[in-house]
Structure 1
Amino acid sequence: MRYEHTVKGRFLERPNRFIAYVDVNGQSVICHVKNTGRCRELLTSGCTVVLEFHPHAREMGRKTEFDLIAVYKGNLLINMDSQAPNRAALEWMENLSQKEPNDNALRMLQPFDPSGSIWLPCKIRREVVHKDSRFDLAFMLENQQTGALKPAFMEIKGVTLEENGIVRFPDAPTERGVKHLQGLSEAVAEGFEAFVLFVIQMEGVREFRPNDETHKAFGDALRAGARAGLHILAYDCEVEEASMKIRREVKISLS
């Protein structure tokens, strides 16, 4: 996924969850923050941030010309656009549906199959309601040997909290996230394949862990889901100032 127009600036302050002030070429501009999480460890005074500029903001009915989309944490560029993980994940899934069956990434999307058959995603849909849950993606997994189909759901979570190469989710309590995991676990019991994909919005981390210190209920729901057959995936991303794409599998530790 790509952004059309980007500029760099110096972060000044964030008076509330939705806006920030950034110095761009000596001028203080107001920005929409595309992540309502706390992000206190990222948005520190004077840090370098990346903004998406909307040249036709007035015609679009926008209140601001800029969105804050990424931040430099030292030399590490972290995308903090909360909409980016879903866009990147959809592109990734659509690309997987076109890849050759021997692609290593496809192994992460296989339902349990002792025969070792390859299953590819197809018929991908966004924002699908199932009972009292709304999942980010719904799709079919097609067996490339037999043509058999399995219905599947996927929920996507963006990860920006990093310390010493270890990333955690969530960075704030999320009852909505717990409900998503419970809904996915229920879908597994009904015969669906179900996935939660943690899109790590940076490159080169060592390990993903649930953030039990911040919200143990989410970690407990994730571990319960794993026992119930929920597939848990974590991938880092290749992040540039004007783009982000899913890159490589990251080790998961649920303990």
Structure 2
Amino acid sequence: MKFDPPLVSGTLVQRYKRFLFDAILDDGSAITGSCPNTGSMRGLTAPGSRIWMSQSDSPTRKHRHRLELVEADDTVVGINTGLPNRLAEEAIRAGLVVADLGTYPVLERERKYGRNSRIDILLSGPDRPPAYVEVKNVHFRRAAGLAEFPDTVTARGAKHLEELGDMAEAGFRAVMLYLVQREDCSRFRICADLDPAYAAGFRRALSRGVEAYAVKCAVTSQQIRPVASIAMDEPGLADL
């Protein structure tokens, strides 16, 4: 996925109220923009960080600038939670998740299912059960090479795991896909110490037949591109 028009760069002053950030553009202008990530963004909000923003003159947008990328740990990290479904589709079609997922002839997004929820991606075809794919955005890293999710408690995420388990037990295929918007990680792990309930829900989902995969992306100021499946570590039993 290429950024078109190109992003503009600057320096982060602060991110606040979840939805807003202040920055200084490279030309010296001070701006306030929107942050398309309501999570904690742990490790990605340090004042002085190099950032990249998209721009829009749409009359429906309150703020012209939207935060897209943050430089942290000497790498560029994608923070826009509106992009993972699109990137996941690219990864599936390229066979990066697991090869047979990419052979489903029909791919739909945001279909209603479960308990008043929407599945991120629904794959279907005439010769096999549909595959329900839930996508989670990942940008948290504490140890070198290790991406983790979640970076804070997520009751909504635990609900999604339970609903995927329901689909698996009903005879459908259920897939949990963690989309890592940074390239400096070769492994992925469920963050059991920050959200033990989610980690327990993840183990329960696997026991019910849910598949789980992680794919990392190459991220630059020009584009974000899924590049490879990465190994998944089990959450530590001592943390549960």
Give the TM-score normalised by the residue count of structure 2: 0.90
For 2:74 and 2:18, locate their aligned partners in 1 and report how far apart those are by CA, in whole Å.
25
For 2:184 and 2:230, locate their aligned partners in 1 and report how far apart those are by CA, in whole Å.
9
The correspondence for 1:237, drawn from 217, 224, 230, is 217
Name the residue aligned to 1:124. Answer: 107
Aligned CA-pair RMSD: 1.7
Q: Does 2:119 match 1:135?
A: yes
For 2:109 and 2:231, locate their aligned partners in 1 and report how far apart those are by CA, in whole Å.
27
2:163 aligns to what SS in structure 1? helix
Q: Name the amino acid aligned to 1:10.
A: T
Label 1:125 to 1:158 Cα distance change in 2 as closer, same or farther (>3 A). Answer: same
Q: Name the amino acid aligned to 1:2.
A: K
Identical positions, percent: 25
For 2:29 and 2:134, locate their aligned partners in 1 and report how far apart those are by CA, in whole Å.
40
Q: Name the amino acid aligned to 2:41.
A: C
Q: Where does structure 1 differ by over 6 angstroms across 4 or more consecutive aligned residues?
A: none
Contact 2:42–2:140 (CA under 8 A) maintained in structure 1: no
Contact 2:75–2:184 (CA under 8 A) maintained in structure 1: no
Name the residue aligned to 1:77. Answer: 76
Name the residue aligned to 1:36. Answer: 38
1:250 aligns to what SS in structure 2? strand
TM-fit CA distance, 1:242 = 2.9
Name the residue aligned to 1:165. Answer: 145
Name the residue aligned to 2:2. Answer: 2
TM-fit CA distance, 1:92 = 2.8
Gaps of 5+ in 1: 97-102, 112-118, 143-147
For 1:121 and 1:176, locate their aligned partners in 2 and report how far apart those are by CA, in whole Å.
28
2:159 aligns to what SS in structure 1? helix
For 1:15 and 1:205, locate their aligned partners in 2 and report how far apart those are by CA, in whole Å.
27
Label 1:230 to 1:41 Cα distance change in 2 as closer, same or farther (>3 A). Answer: same
The total of aligned residue pairs comes to 231
For 1:80 and 1:237, locate their aligned partners in 2 and report how far apart those are by CA, in whole Å.
12
Larger radius of gyration: 1
TM-fit CA distance, 1:192 = 0.2
Name the residue aligned to 2:12. Answer: 11
For 1:32 and 1:135, locate their aligned partners in 2 and report how far apart those are by CA, in whole Å.
26
For 2:205 and 2:42, locate their aligned partners in 1 and report how far apart those are by CA, in whole Å.
30
For 2:104 and 2:177, locate their aligned partners in 1 and report how far apart those are by CA, in whole Å.
14
For 2:120 and 2:41, locate their aligned partners in 1 and report how far apart those are by CA, in whole Å.
23
For 1:15 and 1:220, locate their aligned partners in 2 and report how far apart those are by CA, in whole Å.
31
Label 1:165 to 1:141 Cα distance change in 2 as closer, same or farther (>3 A). Answer: farther
Name the residue aligned to 2:132. Answer: 153
- 1:55-204 equivalent positions in 2, closer than 5 A: 56-57=57-58, 59=59, 61-93=60-92, 95-96=93-94, 105=96, 108-110=98-100, 120-132=103-115, 133-140=117-124, 148-163=127-142, 164-204=144-184
The correspondence for 1:223, drawn from 195, 203, 207, is 203
Contact 2:120–2:135 (CA under 8 A) maintained in structure 1: yes
Name the residue aligned to 1:20. Answer: 21
TM-fit CA distance, 1:29 = 0.5
Give the TM-score normalised by the residue count of structure 1: 0.85
Name the residue aligned to 1:52. Answer: 54
For 2:100 and 2:107, locate their aligned partners in 1 and report how far apart those are by CA, in whole Å.
16
Q: Name the amino acid aligned to 2:70.
A: V
TM-fit CA distance, 1:205 = 0.7
TM-fit CA distance, 1:152 = 1.0
For 1:141 and 1:204, locate their aligned partners in 2 and report how far apart those are by CA, in whole Å.
35
